[in-house]
Amino acid sequence: MLVKEANFTRLCKSKTILTVNGQYPGPTIYARRGDTLIVNVKNRGNLGITLHWHGVKQPRYPWSDGPEYITQCPIKPGANFSQKIILSDEEGTLWWHAHSDWSRATVHGLIVIWPKIGRPYPFPKPYAEFPIILGEWWRQDVEAELLYFLRTGGDPNSSDALTINGQPGDLYPCSPSETTKFIVQKGKTYMLRIVNAAMNLFMFSAIASHKVTIVGTDGAYTKPLKSSYIVISPGQTIDLLFKANQPLGRYYIAAKPYNSQPAISFDNTTTTAIIEYKGYKNSSSTPAFPHLPKVNDTASSVNFTGSLRSLATRAHPINVPMNITRNFLFTISINTLPCPNNQCLGPNGLRFAASVNNITYETTKISILEAYYGKIKGIYGDDFPDFPPLFFNFTANNLSTSLWTPLNASEVKVLEYGDTVELVFQGTNLVAGIDHPMHLHGHSFYVVGWGFGNFNASKDPLSYNLVDPPLQQTIAVPKNGWTAIRFKADNPGVWLMHCHLERHISWGMEMTFITKNGSMPSESMLPPPLDMPPCT
């Protein structure tokens, strides 16, 4: 993969963006379940960069996971890094993206993982597969946008367009001629492999006049779920099938934001691609437009996400941890920090921040993995709290501003090999409640429960789904609500967990797990490669 700058024109304006192999979006990686890949990354851009293989567990090998200053330091301009991608039980669609600054706005692409040779899909094989990468486009330089909002302490500027496979679509200026188009044959069934690569937006999406059947998410199969729309959070992937069973014609695939917080500005536009039936004569006709939920339709969002179930068959079994050894409750909050002379653009002249259990993550000078493996003292602490330091009515209105200020720290949570973890994400209404797509590196987890309001430890677990909960790596925690996940700490290494809304991770909504080695060589972290990017 050659990381380099290239010139692209969108919305009537040209600009230079960071790309892989000169492509936007970047190339798709194809593999089969259990493969090991070597990706030679050559950085010929003007910024240090890291690449993350989102949803790949990387068993015993965090060295190629990618988040900057967590598992590696950035690959410097002019340098190379051969990253080993170790696939295990993932099957379906994942993706890769930059994990440094805001480079992932343009540096991203799909990972398609087919079954092993001789193993079928758990559904009739589709006639063809189409990629759908949902993204955002800024007219201005994205790194300049990042530097501006971090300097001013306010919210980032909204994007100027949403995109499907890098193209805004018919509803934007200077865009219709480049709109993404798919040609289908009547009577055939197709698969869409969808990722939400947007920086800061959940999205609703639908195909005009066509029902879809969801069959997978985050590299794992699901029970077939029929729906007229999907909602997909940043970082999440969804595999769906649709049958070309409508009259010959042209039909829009459309995507627009879902946003539960009216106080924030966002890109409230709609991106489109076109499905055109082969043999249709009037190829210049206006396509049919799908019905999409309203932009603030929380019920449609949670009803869709809450309907996902693991396939849970003999060929694709699941293993939900039942005997929990570690229980955690993590609050996820928007916060504020003091600003000199109250001159920042956040609330009350303060600076926006974000936290997990009231800790805003403070970036270390070298990677946590290097410090952990090399036993380097003083880089991070190992005292991340199991529970929030202060209990209050997390989802109440008009919470006291005295609760807004977090701590700044570089704390990790250490797990023993084989620990079985139940973690409840608790959203809060500090500053402004909003949905949070939480992503855990190095693991998939079972989403066993969710609800609105404050988690009740005595009542809510009684309604957990321990039979066929969906297996995911990214889950949307509803606004002023909670979500419970379970996973087994059987992957030794250093693993980041963070909100996949880019402005929130930029504000510090992240933390890190360290899973210690087990007693057997097969339960121990592998040594680092010789070409790890140096931190100095």
Complete DSSP assignment for 259-287: ---TTS------EEEEEEETT-S-TTSPP
What pLDDT was estimated at residue 459? 98
pLDDT at position 229 over 90: yes
Overall residue count recorded for the chain in this entry: 536
Average pLDDT for the chain: 97
What pLDDT was estimated at residue 416? 98
Cis peptide preceding 25, ω within 30 of 0: yes
The structure tokens listed for 48 are: 């240090």
Q: Could you report the per-residue pLDDT of 387-444, keeping only the tens digit for each?
A: 999 999 999 999 999 999 999 999 999 999 999 999 999 999 999 999 999 999 999 9
CATH topology of domain 326-523: Immunoglobulin-like (2.60.40)
Task: Provide the CA 189 distance to its chain's centre, in angstroms.
Answer: 28
Residue ranges matching CATH 2.60.40.420 in the chain: 1-119, 122-314, 326-523
Rounded to 5°, angle at Cα 194 from 193 and 195: 130
Kindly state the average pLDDT of the residues 47-68.
98
CATH 3.40.718.10 fits 122-314, yes or no: no
Kindly state the average pLDDT of the residues 83-100.
98
CA torsion 128→134→140→142, rounded to 10°? -110
Q: Percent of the chain beyond pLDDT 90?
A: 98
Q: Is 6 exposed, middle or buried (0-12, 13-18, 19+ CB in 10 A)?
A: middle
Residue 161: how many CB atoms within 10 A of its CB? 22
pLDDT at position 536 over 90: no
Amino acid at 361: Y
pLDDT at position 282 over 90: no
Q: Percent of the chain beyond pLDDT 70?
A: 100
Asked if residues 390 and 399 have their Cβ atoms less than 8 Å apart, the reply is no
The structure tokens listed for 432 are: 């402004």
Q: Could you report the per-residue pLDDT of 352-382, keeping only the tens digit for each?
A: 999 999 999 999 999 999 999 999 999 999 9
What pLDDT was estimated at residue 490? 97
What pLDDT was estimated at residue 517? 98
Return the sign of the alpha-carbon dihedral for residues 286, 291, 297, 303. Answer: negative
The structure tokens listed for 221 are: 């199969």
Q: In angstroms, how far is the first alpha carbon of the chain from the final one? A: 24
User: Which CATH entry fits the domain spanning 1-119: 3.40.50.1820, 2.60.40.420, 3.40.50.2300, 2.130.10.10?
Assistant: 2.60.40.420
The structure tokens listed for 233 are: 């959070």
Per DSSP, the chain holds a count of helices (H) and strands (E) of 4, 32
Closest CA to 447 of 422, 429, 426: 422
Kindly state the average pLDDT of the residues 272-286.
93
pLDDT at position 62 over 90: yes
Closest CA to 476 of 361, 316, 307: 307
What pLDDT was estimated at residue 38? 98
Q: Could you report the per-residue pLDDT of 346-356, keeping only the tens digit for each?
A: 999 999 999 99
Unique residue bearing structure tokens 């879902």: 258
Asked if residues 49 and 103 have their Cβ atoms less than 8 Å apart, the reply is yes
Kindly state the average pLDDT of the residues 108-120.
97
Kindly state the average pLDDT of the residues 303-323.
97
pLDDT at position 39 over 80: yes
Report the predicted TM-score, pTM, of the whole model to 2 decimal places. Answer: 0.97
Cα separation, 192 vs 201, whole angstroms: 20
Cα separation, 461 vs 459, whole angstroms: 6
What pLDDT was estimated at residue 284? 84
* Confidence at 45, pLDDT banded by 50, 70, 90: very high
Q: What is the DSSP letter of 506?
A: H
Return the sign of the alpha-carbon dihedral for residues 493, 497, 500, 504. Answer: negative
Cα separation, 304 vs 10, whole angstroms: 32
Asked if residues 77 and 43 have their Cβ atoms less than 8 Å apart, the reply is yes
Residue 142 parent element (H or E): helix 142-152
Cα separation, 294 vs 199, whole angstroms: 20
Within 13 Å of residue 515, how many CA atoms lie on the same side as its CB?
29
